[in-house]
Amino acid sequence: MLDYLIKRAFFTLITIFLLSISIFAIVQIPPGDAIDVIVRSREADGDTMSDTEVAQLRSAYGLDRPILVRYVDWVTDLFKGDMGLSVSGQPVRKLVGERLPATVALSVFSLLITYMIAIPIGIYSAINQYSLGDYVATTFGFIGLATPNFLLALILIFISYRYFGISIGGFFSPEFRDAPMSIAKLWDLTQHLIPPIIVIATSSTAGTIRTLRATLLDELGKQYVITARAKGVPWRKLLLKYPVRLALNPIVAGIGYIFPFLLAGQTIVAIVLNLPTLGPLLFNGLINQDIELTSSVLIIQSLLAIFGVVFSDVLLTLLDPRIRFEKGAG
């Protein structure tokens, strides 16, 4: 186990290194940079900047140096916890730090809700194949997969405001936004968390139900299940100890792609629901060609995605004893 974790950590570091190069290179591809955005904005306000002022501004943001030097400085500063300055003049570390906890919490809660709903429904749907409940679950699955998250968010906003007079945008109501933490504010936060969690988790829940149903049906048709039932093994004990446990393998392995999917799916939903997460911050950074902000947010989201993949790999090896840590082990 220890050798496996060491090897996994080694390959993870290589992945992070290659990702950092890719991210930093990709954000440089669009023509122009943040200084051009600032110059155009100043010109729109009737304030024309001289070439000297533009050069000084470009030097202040380090954009006059070669790209390789800027990459090395960026990585070095990241290790020190310094993410540079945003175009707005604020430290990127502060901007990211304000939104990172909400982003992680929203993704983790959405992942938990996904599995809490999908696993029981998937098991029921498989052991009651072609029943009314199975058809209902299948219908829900197809609707969930076919409905865009942002459309569901818009529908919830309309229904909550039209019929209940409640605004579900943001994490807090206006009267609690700047108030100190209290039981009332915590309850308000809980109410505002439910809609985005529902929206973000819907498509992943639907997909997980379909995956678990198909995998469990495959396990239930195998010879060891038929033999165990013929020998009189109690159905509930047999179901939970073997078929369900093995059918959960792709679900656990799916954490590696569901977690990044939830992170990516937050962006449009967060914009629609006005949520202070990393998604809208990244969107604004891309529009403003804010290299420091965009690179930092992308590398953090990549690290979170890699953590999800590593966590799913380790959990999978603990769940299924047939999986070996050593290459070629049978």
How confident is the model at residue 323, as a pLDDT? 64
Indicate whether 31 belongs to any domain.
no
The CB density around residue 162, as the number of other CB atoms within 10 Å, is: 9
Phi, psi of 272 (to 5 degrees): -65, -45
In whole angstroms, give the CA distance from residue 282 to residue 23.
13
The CA-based diameter of the chain, rounded to the nearest angstrom, is 88
Number of domains in the chain: 1
Q: Which token pair is 229?
A: 């039932």
* Contact status, residue 195 vs residue 156, Cβ threshold 8 Å: yes
CA-nearest of 282, 304, 301, 305 to 293 is 282
Residue 280 resides in a domain: yes
43 CB neighbour count, 10 Å cutoff: 11
187 assigned to some structural domain: yes
The amino acid that residue 116 corresponds to is: M
Q: Is the pLDDT of residue 137 over 80?
A: yes
Asked whether residue 204 is assigned to any structural domain, the reply reads yes
Torsion over CA: 65, 78, 24, 30 (sign) = negative
Question: Quick one: pLDDT band at residue 328, thresholds 50, 70, 90?
Answer: very low
Read off the pLDDT of residues 11-23 as tens digits, 9 standing for 90 and up.
888 988 998 999 8
Residue-range definition of the domain harbouring residue 166: 92-319
CA atoms within 13 A on the CB side of 247: 29
Both tokens of 163, joined, read 């019929």
Percent of the chain at pLDDT > 70 equals 93
**Mean pLDDT for the chain overall:** 82
Distance from C-alpha of 134 to C-alpha of 115, rounded to nearest angstrom: 18
CA distance 310 to 130: 37
Whether 171 is in a domain gets the answer yes
Length of the chain: 330
Closest CA to 308 of 120, 104, 115, 98: 104
Q: Would residue 9 count as lying in a domain?
A: no
Question: HSE (CB half, 13 Å, CA atoms) of 206?
Answer: 18
pLDDT for 120 equals 92
Q: What is the DSSP letter of 48?
A: P
The CATH number covering residue 227 comes to: 1.10.3720.10
Question: pTM for the full model?
Answer: 0.77
**What is the Cα Rg of the chain in Å?**
25
Task: Name the burial class of residue 130, with classes exposed (0-12), middle (13-18) and buried (19+) by CB atoms within 10 angstroms of its CB.
Answer: exposed
AA letter at 89: G
- Tokens 């175009």 belong to residue: 87
Is it the case that residue 28 has pLDDT exceeding 70?
A: yes
Q: Are 171 and 163 in contact (CB under 8 A)?
A: no
Write the pLDDT tens digit of every residue in 261-274: 666 667 788 888 88
Across 2-6, 93-97, 155-159, 186-190, least confident range: 2-6
Higher pLDDT among residues 145 and 119, named by residue? 119
Residue 50 lies in a domain: no
Q: Which is it for the CA torsion 244, 247, 252, 258, positive or negative?
A: negative
Residue 277 lies in a domain: yes
